[in-house]
């Protein structure tokens, strides 16, 4: 696929002067997006990947449905991510989630809504997911949370935003109508997932499986399945300093994530340090002991009893370094008060972000 894209790119560039190249770079990159879509969608069977969040612990329901209700009281989370902003047609992802624990059903309920846009809204995906998580104490120190989720999604391709090689005049740029037959439109489907968490007062480990049914996302012809995504994550939270009342005023939270989706592999390694209302962290995203490296990540934020706010920046260290502009991500969590009924409720010792 990449060889095909580079070949078509050379044809377009060779037909344009220097000034024309500068003014039409947006259109060229739109064509590259289409080339990827078409090569993927017209093969007998092709595979796609999910959008992701750098601050995955700030978006716990997207990481693992077993986090639904894990904070006990109602929780509203909002997130915004702008990936590769220096490139025309960046990836923009917005998400909102809500969850809370309900004693009457001995578990937590969660709802998420996500919208992902690529290529200046040329390719967009909207996904709505509902989930239920059940919590059970296994021993005096170990607890288990198990969850199921169901999603409805819609993917759409806006053909009017695309540009093609036959639209180019060598002197005047994109002035012609393409002879390519419009294709695409929208596709809708349902999706299912599951997850579980084991945790103690200091440690936790979780596993999530998304897209169990590998739904078809094809916008043109044939199959374009969304492959099953498997995630293993874990970590802990350890006190660094306590006050005279033995309350923790500073802590450190190392954690890891390993993800596999089809042939794609990803690993996140890092830690957070919290002192009072402030926190910060550093991360590496890639796969250690391999040639795959993606980003170095810095996270800063503030947390109070009712609100959390975090900002992260991905410093790209892959081959896209000079052109990508990294990635900016914002997250905000609002925590609502609730009546605490009698009975011990164990919370998961993981970083907020």
Q: What is the mean pLDDT of each run of 10 residues along the chain (353 residues)?
A: 36 38 38 39 50 92 96 95 84 96 92 92 92 94 96 90 75 75 84 96 95 91 88 94 88 95 93 94 90 92 94 90 85 89 66 53
Burial class (CB in 10 A: 0-12, 13-18, 19+), 197: buried
Give bridge partners of residue 330 from the DSSP assignment: 80, 311
Q: Judge whether 208 and 192 are in contact, CB under 8 Å.
A: no
Cβ-Cβ contacts under 8 Å for 344 (sequence gap 6 or more): none
Cα angle 174, 178, 184; round to 5: 115
Q: Quote the pLDDT of residue 60.
A: 95
Give bridge partners of residue 271 from the DSSP assignment: 254, 282
Look at residues 350, 3, 92, 34 and name the one whose alpha carbon lies nearest to residue 205: 350
Structural domain contains residue 349: no
Structural domain contains residue 342: no
Structural domain contains residue 157: yes
User: Tokens standing for 32?
Assistant: 């590259």
b vs e for 203-212, b when ≥16 Cβ sit within 10 Å of the residue's Cβ? bbbbbbbbbe
Q: Quote the pLDDT of residue 174.
A: 73
Q: Judge whether 299 and 312 are in contact, CB under 8 Å.
A: yes
Q: Judge whether 116 and 106 are in contact, CB under 8 Å.
A: no
Structural domain contains residue 341: no
Structural domain contains residue 268: yes
Structural domain contains residue 242: yes
Q: Quote the pLDDT of residue 298.
A: 97
Count structural domains, the chain.
1
Range of the domain at 37: 2-335
Structural domain contains residue 312: yes
pTM of this structure: 0.81
Cβ-Cβ contacts under 8 Å for 221 (sequence gap 6 or more): 41, 42
Give bridge partners of residue 130 from the DSSP assignment: 111, 150
Give bridge partners of residue 297 from the DSSP assignment: 283, 314
End-to-end CA distance of the chain: 36
Cβ-Cβ contacts under 8 Å for 30 (sequence gap 6 or more): 88, 89, 119, 120, 122, 161, 162, 163
Look at residues 168, 182, 154 and name the one whose alpha carbon lies nearest to residue 34: 182
Structural domain contains residue 344: no
CATH number at residue 55: 2.40.160.40
């Amino acid at each position: 696929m990449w060889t095909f894209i580079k070949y078509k790119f050379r044809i377009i560039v060779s037909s344009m002067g220097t000034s024309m190249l500068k003014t039409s770079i947006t259109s060229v990159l739109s064509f590259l997006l289409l080339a990827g879509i078409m090569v993927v969608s017209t093969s007998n069977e092709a595979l796609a990947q999910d959008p992701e969040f750098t601050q995955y612990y700030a978006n716990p329901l997207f990481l693992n449905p077993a986090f639904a209700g894990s904070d006990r009281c109602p929780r509203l989370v909002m997130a915004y991510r702008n990936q590769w902003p220096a490139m025309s047609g960046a990836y923009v992802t917005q998400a909102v989630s809500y969850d809370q624990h309900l004693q009457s059903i001995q578990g937590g309920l969660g709802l998420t809504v996500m919208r992902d846009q690529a290529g200046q809204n040329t390719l967009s995906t909207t996904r709505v997911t509902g989930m239920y998580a059940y919590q059970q104490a296994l021993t005096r120190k170990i607890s288990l949370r198990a969850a199921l989720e169901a999603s409805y999604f819609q993917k759409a391709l806006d053909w009017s935003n695309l540009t093609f090689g036959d639209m180019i005049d060598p002197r005047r740029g994109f002035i012609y109508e393409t002879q390519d037959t419009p294709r695409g439109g929208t596709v809708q489907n349902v999706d299912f997932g599951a997850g579980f968490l084991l945790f103690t007062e200091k440690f936790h480990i979780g596993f999530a499986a998304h897209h169990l049914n590998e739904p078809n996302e094809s916008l043109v012809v044939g199959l374009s399945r969304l492959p099953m995504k498997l995630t293993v994550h874990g970590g802990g939270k350890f006190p660094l300093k306590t006050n005279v009342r033995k309350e923790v005023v500073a802590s450190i939270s190392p954690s890891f994530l390993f993800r596999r989706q089809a042939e794609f592999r990803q690993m996140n390694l890092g830690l957070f340090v919290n002192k009072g209302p402030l926190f910060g962290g550093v991360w590496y995203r890639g796969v250690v002991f391999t040639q795959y490296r993606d980003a170095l990540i810095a996270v800063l934020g503030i947390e109070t009893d009712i609100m959390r706010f975090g900002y992260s920046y991905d410093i790209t260290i892959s081959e896209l370094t000079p052109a990508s502009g990294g990635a900016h991500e914002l997250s905000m969590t609002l925590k609502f008060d609730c009546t605490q009924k009698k009975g011990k409720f164990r919370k998961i010792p993981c970083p907020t972000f």
